[in-house]
A and B are shown apart, each in its own frame.
Chain A
Amino acid sequence: MAGARIAPSLSERVRAGDSRAVARGITIMEDGGPLASALHAAILPSTGRALTIGFTGPPGAGKSTLVDAFVAALRKSGRTVAVAAVDPSSPLSGGAVLGDRIRMGRHTEDEGVFIRSIASRGHLGGLTESIHHIVDLFDASGRDVVVIETVGAGQSEVEVVDVADIRVVVNAPGLGDDVQAIKAGILEIASILVVNKADLPLAARTVRQLRAMLSLRRDGEKDVPVLETVASTGQGVAELLAAVLALGASAPGDRQARRRARIRRLVAESAATLMRRRTMARRDPALLDLLAQIEAGLISLDEAVAAVISEGTKMPDRISDQTQVAESTHEPAV
């Protein structure tokens, strides 16, 4: 429907926790554009209540199985849960087989668990472009906890820091060079480190290595708990839940503060996306001149960025995709 807008009933039904409305809301968020913005604006006042927990880690660490066991523990504690499980889209076809439900079969019929399988649709960083909006939608729908499971493609999954209050980084013994698999970047974002498959022979060594790496970090960043789990039997999952809830209770401030922090992250993220898009699309002499000056060493990168931001805010509101694609492939003439 050209020029359509979101019916007020949608956000009302989302707030009431209506599954059909939440599901359709996610689809609208995934589609993006003005409808998604409008829906997000409508539900944002109702967010800030849910605790958001991200699970990330290398492939083979057992993330899905651990999320399954964790969700079971959350349900046992009486909390309602939404799960956003992200899997990669095929770069060739754009399609995807989303298989996270395979490990979470026992929750299918539980009304207290809402699972949405999400394709990354070409987005890098382990999540999907619309993940912030989707998490907010779950939050607004009244779920106590929102669990985000990343793609698990390796080391570039630090994006989860922006969307989750608590980040659980999952590793397992014997994945290549042990902790190397999660060394670069991803360790830094962990609120909790988990060594899953702790019944494997090399588990103790992996735990030791992780603790040793933590001890090299600055005070205040050393206190990251290192927990052992066997997700397939549920061993250690109660301890993981206790650790998550303890962090949740001590996480910065109350509901209001958390909500503000998330809105701030969202604004930062959206602003960056917007500036990137506009800068890539600009063909005006002022920008080309600026680029030439950086290349010639006449101004610093920081100075140029300040100038680009100041000018970029005056650019037109939206630039069509066609323009963007056509022009961003073109090297700036210097």
Chain B
Amino acid sequence: MSTTSGFRPIRVLVTKIGLDGHDRGSRIVAAYLRDAGMEVIYTPPWQTVAGVVKLATEEDVEVIGISSLATDHLIVPKMMTALRAAGLDHVRVIVGGIVPDEEKTALIEAGVSNVFGPGAARDEIVACVTSLGQDARHARINEFLEANP
């Protein structure tokens, strides 16, 4: 709360892409991350790939959490490509929900940091997002800065 403090909460975008609208999981994860001291930007479901890129840009988040309970993870690889194209390659992405093994591999290959299945524990999720948030911040900490002469 101090203007001189270097600390700030990790910012996380919790959203859903594609067609499904079930939000029990994303609401609970949002509450977990809030209770762990993070700032969670919570959106309506049915975001498009372009929409997620714009959200992540404007909100300057370190981590994106995509909840996929049906088959919407199938367009996550497209989203990863679009994030990179927009210069957001420092942003870490996790997917939570129901993802078959071979499609999980495809997600990791596309650059997703982690995939959480149903029943993932709070501590596991919070620890992962914390660590990814720090990685992301570190990766871009000097953007728009330069050394003092």
* Contact A318 B4, beta carbon cutoff 8 Å: yes
- Give CA–CA (A128, B80) in the complex, Å: 33
Shortest Cβ distance from A119 into B: residue: B39
- Give CA–CA (A89, B148) in the complex, Å: 34
Q: How far is the CB of B85 from chain A (nearest CB, A)?
A: 12
Q: Which of A187-236 contact B (CB under 8 A)?
A: none
Interface range for B: 35 or more
- Give CA–CA (A257, B115) in the complex, Å: 54
Interface range for A: 35 or more
Asked, given contacts A95-B35, A318-B4, whether A4 binds B58 with beta carbons under 8 Å apart, the answer is no
- The reply to whether the CB of B113 lies closer than 8 angstroms to some CB of chain A is no
Shortest Cβ distance from A4 into B: residue: B145
- Give CA–CA (A320, B87) in the complex, Å: 36
- The reply to whether the CB of A332 lies closer than 8 angstroms to some CB of chain B is no
> Which of A98-106, A164-172, A299-307 is found at the contact surface with chain B?
A98-106
Cross-chain contact of B144 among A24, A99, A320, A321 (Cβ < 8 A): A24
Cβ contacts A10-31/B at 8 Å (1 or 0 each): 1000000001111111111011
The interface residues of chain A, by DSSP majority, are classed as mixed
* Contact A108 B145, beta carbon cutoff 8 Å: no
Cross-chain contact of B145 among A6, A109, A116 (Cβ < 8 A): A6
- Give CA–CA (A102, B16) in the complex, Å: 12
> Which of A32-40, A45-53, A149-157, A245-253 is found at the contact surface with chain B?
A32-40
Cβ of B139: which chain A residues have Cβ within 8 Å of it? Answer: none
Cross-chain contact of A93 among B37, B146, B148 (Cβ < 8 A): B37
Q: How far is the CB of B128 from chain A (nearest CB, A)?
A: 16
Asked, given contacts A321-B2, A321-B4, whether A95 binds B43 with beta carbons under 8 Å apart, the answer is no
- The reply to whether the CB of A115 lies closer than 8 angstroms to some CB of chain B is yes
Cβ of A119: which chain B residues have Cβ within 8 Å of it? Answer: 9, 39
Q: How far is the CB of A213 from chain B (nearest CB, A)?
A: 35
* Contact A1 B147, beta carbon cutoff 8 Å: yes
Q: How far is the CB of A164 from chain B (nearest CB, A)?
A: 21
- Give CA–CA (A123, B5) in the complex, Å: 14
- Give CA–CA (A1, B148) in the complex, Å: 10
- The reply to whether the CB of B54 lies closer than 8 angstroms to some CB of chain A is yes
* Contact B34 A96, beta carbon cutoff 8 Å: yes
Q: How far is the CB of B20 from chain A (nearest CB, A)?
A: 16
- Give CA–CA (A6, B147) in the complex, Å: 9
- In the complex, 29 of the A-B residue pairs with CB atoms within 8 angstroms, ordered by the A residue number, are A4-B146, A5-B147, A9-B144, A19-B54, A19-B58, A21-B144, A23-B60, A24-B143, A25-B144, A28-B144, A32-B2, A32-B3, A33-B4, A89-B9, A90-B35, A94-B37, A95-B33, A95-B38, A95-B39, A96-B40, A97-B42, A105-B43, A108-B47, A109-B50, A114-B58, A115-B58, A119-B9, A121-B9, A123-B1
